[in-house]
Amino acid sequence: MINQTKASKLIKIYQYVCDKYEQELKYTCERFSNNNQPEFTDQEIMTIYLFSVYEEQRFKIKEIHDFASNYLRSWFPKLNSYVAFNTRLNRLSEAITALCRFVLEEFTPTGCSPEFSLLDSMPIITCSGKRNAKVAKEITDKSYCSTKNLWYYGLKLHALNYYNKGTLPHPESIVITKASENDLNVFKENWATIQARQFFGDKIYHDKDFFDELYAKEQSIMYTPIKGIKGKFEVLKQKDFAYENLFSKAVSAIRQPIEAFFNWINEKTQIQKASKVRSSKGLLVHVFGKLTACFLKPIVNP
């Protein structure tokens, strides 16, 4: 059993999941078989997963199932075996992805600026680059993370976040790609049509010709730390040093909260560690399930 405070949170998460399931999520996991109305429902599976990650910091599926079996059995008497639970959860990968989108859009905090956006990415690691990857090979590949000084196999999670002064930036859009995908290419494919926006990114987003054209078309501008020009005369480097240094520090200071945002997500859910995942659908559940769990506070404490 769980105490009354936790029980209240469990009920609120369940109610929210049921509401969204009836509105749209059920269309992402329709069944066309005789078992289209299982006794242990999809809503119950998602509730158990989200509650266990958010409230109990249980991050592995086996830990989540064990917790539910030991402490939530009175709430979910039809809870099935670990293997069946894991299989059913993986089949809900599209529903959990859609639920993540609902939560991020519905609970955008007040104070988020519609004019300023912060961009960055973080690795989701399925295994070390020294090993041969065998999991989710259709959506993962090998890349190098300069921040961690690490070769790895996995995904890259790209975030476009609203700037919110004095607190963590809130995600406006989340995109996952193979680990080797360039951040600038992701921006061009997903966010290059946003109008009248000031973006703040790191040096990977430096592309003067592209962003000059973007400003002319959409009145949006990208600020990045100044990238050194190869072959620039030393006298010019010294002349421009003070300006370039101050400008780069200013941009880095503005975009620093998105680095704190990624650290917060990782500390709260261990989202970067995906070594226990065994399928592509399982990897999607790992990423978007953990992200959803991070933003449940407005639901359980409205």
> Given this model, what pLDDT does residue 5 score?
95
Its pTM stands at 0.92
Q: List the one residue out of 91, 105, 19, 89 whose CA is nearest residue 52.
A: 89
Apex 267 CA angle, 206 and 119, nearest 5? 15
> Given this model, what pLDDT does residue 243 score?
56
> Given this model, what pLDDT does residue 177 score?
97
> Given this model, what pLDDT does residue 129 score?
87
Which tokens sit at 185?
A: 């290419």
CB burial readout 221-259, b (16+ within 10 A) else e: ebbbbbeeeeeeeeeeeeeeeeeeeeebeebeebbebbe
Helix or strand run (H / E) with residue 198: strand 198-200
Collapse the DSSP code of 154 into the 3-class scheme (helix H, G, I; strand E, B; otherwise coil) and give the result.
strand
> Given this model, what pLDDT does residue 231 score?
55
Each domain of the chain, given as residue ranges in start order, spans: 4-91, 112-276
Spatial distance between the Cα atoms of 107 and 263, rounded to a whole number of angstroms: 20
> Given this model, what pLDDT does residue 10 score?
97
> Given this model, what pLDDT does residue 148 score?
84
Which tokens sit at 276?
A: 């226990």
What is the dotted CATH code of the domain comprising 112-276? 3.30.420
Spatial distance between the Cα atoms of 165 and 298, rounded to a whole number of angstroms: 19
DSSP secondary-structure letter at 205?
Answer: G
Spatial distance between the Cα atoms of 296 and 107, rounded to a whole number of angstroms: 9
> Given this model, what pLDDT does residue 277 score?
94
Q: What SS3 string covers 96-139?
A: HHHHHHHHHHHCCCCCCCCCEEEEEEEEEEEEECCCCCCCCCCC
β-strands 221-223, 198-200: how paired?
parallel
> Given this model, what pLDDT does residue 146 score?
85
> Given this model, what pLDDT does residue 229 score?
56
Query: pLDDT tens digits for the chain (302 residues)?
Result: 899 999 999 999 999 999 999 999 999 987 777 777 889 999 999 999 999 999 999 999 999 999 999 999 999 999 999 999 999 999 999 999 999 999 999 999 999 999 999 999 999 999 998 888 888 999 999 999 988 889 999 999 999 999 998 899 999 999 999 999 999 999 999 999 999 999 999 999 989 899 999 999 999 999 999 765 565 545 455 555 665 788 889 999 999 999 999 999 999 999 999 999 999 999 999 999 999 999 999 999 87
> Given this model, what pLDDT does residue 232 score?
55
Q: How many residues does the chain have?
A: 302
Cα 296 from chain centre: 14
